[in-house]
Amino acid sequence: MVAIQTGRVVGGVIVVDNPDDFAEGSLVTVLSGGPNETFALSAEDERELLDRAEECERGEAVDGKELMADLLARVGRSAP
């Protein structure tokens, strides 16, 4: 399941607005703009983000190291 949630850090713990959307022990990814920054997605951007997350869940993603090596190769450099 892919879900987008908002929340806050309370007492050192991330508390999401709708915790019932997640099963106990769910693996989550946190994206933070910092303590005083917020961001908003259009409906189209949110759908795109959810689509890409679902692709990753299906294993249709490129490993970060593989991506960097490919990008560096395109500009004639080798990965460190």
Quote the DSSP letter at residue 14: E
Task: Find the DSSP H helices in the chain.
Answer: 43-57, 64-74
Q: List the chain domain ranges.
A: 7-74
pLDDT at residue number 28: 82
- From CA 53, how far away is CA 59, in angstroms rounded? 10
Share of the chain above pLDDT 90, in %: 4
* Strand (E) or helix (H) holding 10: strand 7-10
CA distance 16 to 4: 10
Overall pTM surpassing 0.75 (yes/no): no
Which residues on adjacent β-strands are paired with residue 8?
A: 15
pLDDT digits over 11-49, tens only?
998 888 888 888 888 888 887 777 777 777 888 988 888
